[in-house]
Structure 1
Amino acid sequence: MEEAMFAKYKSVIYESLMVILGCAIFGAGLDAFVLPHKLVSTGISGVGLILYYVTGLSVGSWNMILNIPIFWAAWKWLGTRVVIKTLYGTLMLSWMVDLFNFLQYDMIIKDPLLSSMMAGITTGVGLGIVYRVGGNTGGLDPIALIVRKYYGLQMGSINSAINCAILVAAIGVVGLEAVAVTLISVYVYTIITNKVVIGFNQRKVAFIITYRTDDVCECIIKKVGRGATIINGVGAYTRTPKQIVMVAVNLLQVNKLKEVIQEADPDVFILITDAQEVIGQGFTQPIIPTEVCEQLKDKSTTQEDNTEIVHNQ
């Protein structure tokens, strides 16, 4: 029990430190490569930059102000856990952007195009680190999660629509040329972020071979929030009947999936592969309803033999 608690605290500390590191890299990149050339960005930080150019109030301050209604919405519709992570990430990001504010006064790269590329690399690495450990920095993500939860729209589509509106609005403040240069940063940022998180917006399919099928399925449903399909199989060498659990997840859930499965069965065999496309519940349709997960948590861990859990992704 003590070892489990220690491991949990160690994980929380590690994630917290990585969020700080990621926010520091993001803040330094924004101040060093975006502000000197009066470029903009996407997301809430992009709105903060526009308002900074208009009012002179720091980007970090605007970032906090703009996220206040998002905190409230996340608390009301997504739960306390999401709010805590969002608040912590937003505080760190806002603080780091203002902490490295001195970098904007020393133009490190004089070419706006190269500076935009460096901005994309540094901010992409920074937020990629944050996303990799399951953190977030507020902004559009909670909004997209709320819209997806209640309307079933894709997060990528929601973010793209809002970001386009932000860039169009920025033309009136910094001009068309600065926004055009910013597009380079946005493109590089997207690629780098995906690389750091190992394609966090893609899908993975895991095939899990275990003798503790019920325990593994319960962990997947309760702790990862995904459904699973049980497939009957036979070992090629031993000819022993086995059950294979198949589950589709996004890449932000891969580490969590491996962790909970190995807790349920230390001798498990896991094969994780890329999925070209996943269509169905939890991906193109809303994920398992919260009330269903709560009911599963309340059930006894004893399950009837031969019970097949089928939730096709």
Structure 2
Amino acid sequence: MLSSYPLVKWKNLLPITLGTAIYAFGLHYFVISNELMEGGITGIALLLNYSFHLPPSATTLVINIPLFYLGWKVLGKETMLNTVIGTVSLSFFLWIMEQLIHRGWIVPFHSEHDYFLAVAYAGVTLGVGLGLVFRYGGTTGGSDIIATIGQKWLGWSMGRVILVFDCLVIGSALFFIPKEKILYTFVVVFITTKVIDIIIEGAYAARAFTVITDHAEELVAKIAEHMDRGATIIPAVGAYSKAHKNVVYCVVYRQEMKRLKDLARSVDPRAFIIINEVHDVVGEGFKPE
């Protein structure tokens, strides 16, 4: 089975593994030590840990096993192989953290009253870990499998399924931990999702300029001369005036926004400028494929 795993996928295993290691560290060091919560299967594992002192490394894997079987039947081999690798890796690093903490080699961060630092660092750490896993095509199982099956069978969006499942898990924790920690947990989830977005998209976030001007050729020449950037000229027709105009389309890094805006204004003070946020730009001058 693994022998048929594409070579390009093997290259993704290192960042996926690193991501699960960071996630496992954040879970033990900041979340479990302060009795906070998480969503999905990890959240169920935390509830079992808080209630019966069962190790998350074992419960995470055991709960995912029937989902592996169901997902393999419904989603196919390659999709589930990524999930199995991510989930097993996560369980392994959770076990490593449990051993290091048990032996006193790592002392988790614990706060008695003010959980702000624990919440902030938990969100960042979990977000970085999951962001690496997702960016390189992996998953950590659990709600990801449930969401994908829900999308395939019921036509629900994955985001909707994950949101409902996470809310049910976190909401059920009200019977086991104080409500203030549930509220802190939602802050952790919010920070985590924002950091995931930054890891997946933000590293190469850029701005796309759409400039409607009567001086398109001159503007493109100025962009090439002063910014060493390429641009595209798109023919257009005004909907009201029916006049033929040219649209200049150019993508630049965020720090180059002001330079391009000033350049466009200097060429044509009457230019109509639209600026859009874009992510994960691939090509010359940006990230290579």
Gaps of 5+ in 1: 1-7, 200-233, 237-250, 263-268, 272-313
Unmatched tracts of structure 2, length 5 or more: 1-5, 203-232, 236-277
Structure-2 separation of matches of 1:74 and 1:108: 36
Look up the match of 1:150: 153
The residue number in structure 2 matching 1:66 is 63
Q: How do 1:274-313 residues align onto structure 2 when only pairs under 5 Å count?
A: none
Aligned partner (choices 190, 195, 201) of residue 192 of structure 1: 195
Q: Partners of 1:84 and 1:20 in 2: how far apart?
A: 14
From 13, 19, 26, the counterpart of 1:16: 13
CA distance in 2, matches of 1:172, 1:78: 34
Q: What SS does the aligned partner of 2:12 have? A: helix
The answer on 1:130 being equivalent to 2:133 is yes
Q: Which residue of 2 aligns with 1:120?
A: 123
Give the partner amino acid of 1:108.
Answer: F
Radius of gyration: which is bigger? 2
> Which residue in the other structure is 1:91 paired with?
88
In 1, the alpha carbon distance for the partners of 2:27 and 2:234 equals 54
* Structure 2: distance between partners of 1:96 and 1:35: 15
What is the distance in 2 between the residues matched to 1:83 and 1:32?
29
Conserved in 2, the CA contact under 8 Å of 1:113 and 1:184? Answer: no
Q: CA deviation at 1:195?
A: 1.0
The answer as to whether partners of 2:34 and 2:110 remain within 8 angstroms in 1 is no
1:12 Cα deviation after fit: 2.8
Q: In the alignment, residue 77 of structure 2 is paired with which amino acid?
A: T
> Which amino acid letter does the alignment assign opposite residue 157 of structure 1?
R
Distance, in Å, in 1 between the alignment partners of 2:122 and 2:86 is: 20
Give the alignment's TM-score, normalised by structure 2.
Answer: 0.65
Identity of aligned residues (%): 31
The alpha carbon displacement at 1:194 in A equals 1.1
Output the amino acid matched with 1:100. Answer: M
Pairwise CA distance, 1:235 = 8.9
Give the corresponding residue for 2:109: 108
CA separation of 1:56/1:44 partners in 2, compared to 1, >3 Å: closer, same or farther?
Answer: same
Q: How does 1:148-297 map to 2 (within 5 A)?
A: 148-198=151-201
The structural deviation recorded for 1:109 is 5.0
Residues 264-300 of structure 1: CA distance to partner in whole angstroms, max 9, x if unpaired? xxxxx9x9xxxxxxxxxxxxxxxxxxxxxxxxxxxxx
- 1:107 offset after TM fit, Å? 3.8
d(CA) in 2 for partners of 1:165, 1:235: 50
C-alpha separation in 1, matches of 2:49 and 2:156: 31
Deviation at 1:125, TM superposition (A): 0.3
Aligned residues: 207
Task: Name the counterpart of 1:52.
Answer: 49
The aligned counterpart of 2:3 is none
Partner in structure 1 of residue 257 of structure 2 = none
Q: Is the 8 A contact 2:151 2:158 kept in 1?
A: yes
Native 8 Å contact 2:123 2:192 kept in 1: yes
C-alpha contact 2:28 2:108 (8 A) present in aligned 1: no
Deviation at 1:160, TM superposition (A): 0.6
Please tell me the root mean square deviation across aligned C-alpha atoms, in Å.
3.1
Cα distance, 1:190–1:103 mapped onto 2, change above 3 Å: farther
| TM-score for both structures, normalised by structure 1 | 0.60
Q: Which residue is 1:285 aligned to? A: none
**What is the aligned partner in structure 2 of residue 75 from structure 1?**
72
For 2:34, the equivalent position in structure 1 comes to 37
Runs of 4+ in 1 over 2 A off after TM superposition: 11-14, 101-111
Distance 2:160 2:87 in 1: 23
